[in-house]
Structure 1
Amino acid sequence: MLIGHIKEIVRHPVKSLRGEAVQQSKIMDYGLYGDRSHAYLDQTKETDFLTIAQFQEMVRYQARFVGEESLDKYPNVEVITPEGEVFDWQDQGLIEEMEDKSQRKISTRQYTPSHVPIGPIAVEHVLLATDASLDKLEELWGKDRVDLRRFRPNLFISLLDKKPFIEEEWIGRRIKIGQEVEMEFVGHCKRCMIITVDPEDAERDPSLHKTVIKERKNNFGVYASVIKTGDIHLDDEVHLVE
């Protein structure tokens, strides 16, 4: 059954930095190619990942792959700072800037194209959200436009039937995207303080999280596990497997 189309594909080459929207992506066993494949570590926390929870301004730094994508080696990763400067993600000047702003000692870690373990990729392989649910949450919040980037989904689906939160009813079922890829919805995405941070200015507003807690039991979006790998493209059809 056709349920919609892929409206956005977003990967985050560096965990907790702003992601990049792409026209197409390989779906690996772990999710989108390169998603959360690089990370900054907070050395003051005994090598825990540095995230927006500790350093809110990470949402204003954008990471992107530059160069040919390969299954043997990732392309170079560039980071664009809030001021528009461009650095290699491991550039010492960039790291020193982030250390100064966060007041933390930072190191780096990267994985391979064939394996990104659970940890960098939160709970499950892929996070999905729908346009109908985003529009309804905006209505429930009643304060401002809800920026999708607050929720950091990998796939944003435009539904044919604009029923808010219908994706939660599909947990336990499979979808097929395009010609090859299949995924299974496996659970709700429980939300944390990260959604309170505005991607534009890194300012916090707890009221959005309070709305999600009150109206949606702190859920927004659903996780999916990869069943069949392959390529997906913007505007690909999304079918619920009967």
Structure 2
Amino acid sequence: MLVGHIQEITRHPVKSFTGEQVQKTKVMDYGLYGDRSHAFKGKNGKFLTITQVPEMVRYQAAFSGEEALDQYPEIQVKTPSGNVLTWGEGAFQEEMERLLKQEAEPVVYHPAHIPLGAIEEENILLVSDASIGELTKLWGKELDGRRFRQNLIISLVNKTPFLEEQWFGKRILIGNEVELEIKRHCERCMIITVDPSDSHRDPSLLKTVVKERGNHFGVYASVMQTGEIRVGDQVFLKD
């Protein structure tokens, strides 16, 4: 059954940086190609994220070349001041020291394998356009979808808010190749309170999600069949 099409594809080359919207990408066993492939860990061995350093969200990371399975394309990072730096170069390291204000270890995972933890709790996070629209009404303010750090936005044929929550335990087919199994709710945390444009916190959004949605927004999915997806691909719910 046709349920919609892919409206947006977003991957985050650097964990907790703002990601990049792409027109097409490979879907790997772990999720979108290169998603959360680069990260920083603190002295305690845990990932440094927006939770500890909200300003991380003001840095935007993007791959600057074609996807390859032996090594990643170069990552370009746009800073809040508008400078564009390259992951690993001296100027980037200096910028990160100023940003993180602590001893931090840069981590890079192989293109063929990124562990859970770097990729949150499941392979892919998706939401629907109807759900974003309904939450905007519930919150009563303009909503920047980047707050939710989803990988896919599905434009639904049936514009029923939170329809994707009825797909738990079922599979969706994207285009002709990629198959995902919808697993469970995404339980939200303070990260959604951080505005990606200026890192300002507004706790009222999380309070709205807790009150109106039981602290759930978006659904997690596991990759069952790899392949390539494109914006505009049709999405089918399998029987």
| TM-score, normalised by the number of residues in structure 1 | 0.96
| Match of residue 236 from structure 1 | 233
| Match of residue 39 from structure 2 | 39
Preserved CA contact (<8 Å) 1:212 1:218: yes
Correspondence 1:145 to 2:155: no
Separation in 2 of the partners of 1:101 and 1:88?
15
Match of 1:183 among 177, 180, 185: 180
For each residue in 1:41-61, what CA deviation from the matched residue of structure 2 results, as whole angstroms up to 9, or x when unmatched? 223xx1211100011111110
For each residue in 1:79-103, what CA deviation from the matched residue of structure 2 results, as whole angstroms up to 9, or x when unmatched? 1101111111223332333322332
Ranges in structure 2 where 5+ consecutive residues have no aligned partner: none
Preserved CA contact (<8 Å) 1:95 1:106: no
Separation in 1 of the partners of 2:143 and 2:86?
31
Match of 1:163 among 137, 160, 169: 160
Q: Which residues in structure 2 correspond to 1:6-17 (within 5 Å)?
A: 6-17=6-17
| Match of residue 64 from structure 1 | 62
Correspondence 1:22 to 2:19: no
* Residue identity (%): 58
SS of 2:154's partner is strand
2:93 counterpart letter in structure 1: I
Ranges in structure 1 where 5+ consecutive residues have no aligned partner: none
| Count of residues paired in the alignment | 239
* CA shift for structure 1 position 20: 0.3
Preserved CA contact (<8 Å) 2:54 2:194: yes
Preserved CA contact (<8 Å) 1:73 1:113: yes
Separation in 1 of the partners of 2:29 and 2:112?
8
* CA shift for structure 1 position 5: 0.6
Separation in 2 of the partners of 1:126 and 1:9?
11
| Match of residue 189 from structure 2 | 192
Match of 1:206 among 203, 206, 213: 203
